[in-house]
Amino acid sequence: MKFRSWMMLMGLIWVAVLAPWFSSSVLAQWPYGAPTHPDAQRNALKLLQAQMDWFQNATRTAPSYGAAGYGNVWQNFQALRDSYNGLKQTLSPQQLANGANSLAELDAGLDIIAEAFTYYQEDVAAGQNPISALRNMCRVLRQASSVWQQELNKTCNRIRVGWN
């Protein structure tokens, strides 16, 4: 009976301590990239569009949350950028080549939009009321992200994202 208890204890130690270490090293070596088939692209595009809606909503509601509003908008912007990068990972090599310039412009557009966060911080440091600065930042972000989304839609149509 003692031997069986000892074996069960060793088995539990294996599962709790060693198995996660082995499984994570195996998963880290997954040799395949993101899927590039039309369904994956459509799903990634839908996720990006949903994230854009959440970001737009965050910019509308942020001033009512005071100081926490800035963090919410920043978090949603980072999620938007991550969703866009996820969409790019689903593109085929041909789509990436055909849309290289437009995709680079979209990347640059996100970088430009991100500058609004720096301007907010500079305005607050210069003594502007934080809520007023946040309201201004959110207005700029809404307008800029709407233009960015229009360009995204044009690019996705041109390079046939999600098409068979």
34-158 domain in CATH 1.20.120? yes
Q: HSE (CB half, 13 Å, CA atoms) of 120?
A: 24
Query: Using one digit for the tens of pLDDT, what is the confidence trace for 123-132?
Result: 999 999 999 9
Most confident of 18-27, 65-74, 143-152: 143-152
Written as six digits, the tokens of 61 are: 């509601």
Q: Enumerate the domain spans of the chain.
A: 1-31, 34-158
pTM over 0.85: no
Task: Identify the CA nearest to 45 among candidates 142, 164, 149, 130.
Answer: 149
Query: Using one digit for the tens of pLDDT, what is the confidence trace for 44-96?
Result: 999 999 999 999 999 999 999 988 999 999 999 999 999 999 999 999 999 99
pLDDT at 118: 97
Higher pLDDT, 24 or 135: 135
